[in-house]
Amino acid sequence: MAIQRGAIELAGLTKSYDGVTPVVQGVNLKIPDGAYCCFLGPSGCGKTTILRMIAGHEDPTDGEILIGGENVVGLPPVERGTAMMFQSYALFPHLSVRDNIAFALRVRGQDKAERYRLTDAMIEKVRLTELRDRLPGQLSGGQQQRVALARAAITEPRVLLLDEPLSALDEQLRIQMRSELRRMQRELGITFIHVTHSQLEAIALADIVVVMEKGQIKQSGAARDVYAAPKDRYVAEFLGGQNVFSGRVGTVNGDRIVLQASEMKQVAIPLCGARVKQGDAIDVAVRRDDINLLRPGATLAGDTSSLASRVMGIEYQGNFVKVMLDPVGSDEFVAYVPERTFFHDPLDIGDVVMAAWPADHARLLA
């Protein structure tokens, strides 16, 4: 099968500004054509640098970038068929919406009539027709974002690169623009690479989530895989929704091990093919929404792990209730209880509870 035009492959991609400390170190990744890919990580993890290297605004120190099967390192952005949407948009402040969007066509020497015909069609697509003669300074954040998107998409790139596209917007607008981005991506049918530090944004949008730390990929995969099956403590904590406990392997019996930690009774963990031996330090993740809170003395269903704890805090979240429990060692311990379940028998701060979860649902982390 021929390699599709918008497929991206990063091979051993490395970047260092001073030759000593690498910002990006040996990143390998394949992104299929037409995928929505999110790079997720805290600031300074190298995700924007990777984006800028794909865009051609930064040269890698080492490694290859293949777009559509062709090594593009050293080529200018235009020849790569990429377009970038910059953080805080970087719109041309002295040009109208229309001329901003038409800019790329103008420098390609397209004549005015044809240029404006294509531009107006794009303006229509991002619903800015009434605003097309305004200057960027006269637009709201969401409108500016749409101009930036249209400006990047006008050249029909095979890859669109978005650097924190939603970070300049307020919460409500962010959610709205988020679905608009996804809609545009489906309509254009091209590869989107989106850099963000918000896990909510990443899992809501992406076909592929790439979690990064200190210039390296920690885990990449479908949003659901990364969220529900994090590989290690870093990924689990960054994506949230998990309780991570550390301890030692007590005993190994068959496909289960028993976790031993100072403040915990023995808890059984499925092994899932991992190889550990007695005494190894391990991390275990249990989803916060897998945890059932029971009054002491209630009977547990079969094959359930449980932990005696106490309610330290309660936060109402609308569709669920966040119950903060007594921390296990230094690890936060939180349960997400469905709203109806919680108010059927409301708990109070200080109540002693049994936190129970199906034993199979605990996961051993790397």
Partner 1 sequence: MRLSKPVVSWLYVAPLVLVLIPFFVVPIVVVLIASVFDTDGFGGLIPTFTLSNYLNVFTSTLTFNLYYETIKFTVLTWIFTLLLGFFIAYYLVFHVKNQLLAIGLFLLCTVPFWTSNIIRMISWIPLLGKEGLINTALIKIGLIHEPLGFLLYSSFAVVVAYVHQLTIFMIVPIFNSMVRIDKRVIEAAVDAGASRFDILRLIVIPLSKSGIALGTIFVVAIVMGDFFVTKVMSGGGSASVVGAFYEDIGVLQYPGAAASAVVLTVILMTSVALILRTVDIRKEITS
The footprint of partner 1 (CB under 8 A) covers: 55, 57, 76-78, 82-84, 86-88, 90-94, 103-104, 106-108, 151-152, 155
Count of beta carbons in the 10 Å neighbourhood of residue 44: 12
In whole angstroms, what is the distance from residue 301 CA to residue 361 CA?
14
Alpha carbon distances (Å) from 167 to 7, 51, 87:
26, 16, 8
161 vs 325, which CB is nearer to partner 1?
161
76 vs 189, which CB is nearer to partner 1?
76
185: tokens are 């991506």
73 vs 359, which CB is nearer to partner 1?
73
Distant-in-sequence, close-in-space partners of 62: CB < 8 Å, separation ≥ 6: 12, 13, 14
Q: How far is the CB of 94 from partner 1 (least distance, A)?
A: 5
Q: How far is the CB of 113 from partner 1 (least distance, A)?
A: 19
155 vs 199, which CB is nearer to partner 1?
155
Q: How far is the CB of 350 from partner 1 (least distance, A)?
A: 53
Beta strand 281-287 with 292-294 is unpaired
6 vs 230, which CB is nearer to partner 1?
6
171: tokens are 């919460």
49 vs 306, which CB is nearer to partner 1?
49
In whole angstroms, what is the distance from residue 225 CA to residue 63 CA?
28
Q: How far is the CB of 48 from partner 1 (least distance, A)?
A: 12
Helix (H, G, I), strand (E, B) or coil at 25: strand
| Nearest in space to 355 (alpha carbons), one of 316, 324, 315 | 324
Listed in sequence order, the DSSP H helices in the chain are 47-55, 77-80, 97-107, 112-125, 141-153, 171-188, 199-205, 223-228, 233-239, 339-344
Q: How far is the CB of 45 from partner 1 (least distance, A)?
A: 20
Q: How far is the CB of 137 from partner 1 (least distance, A)?
A: 10
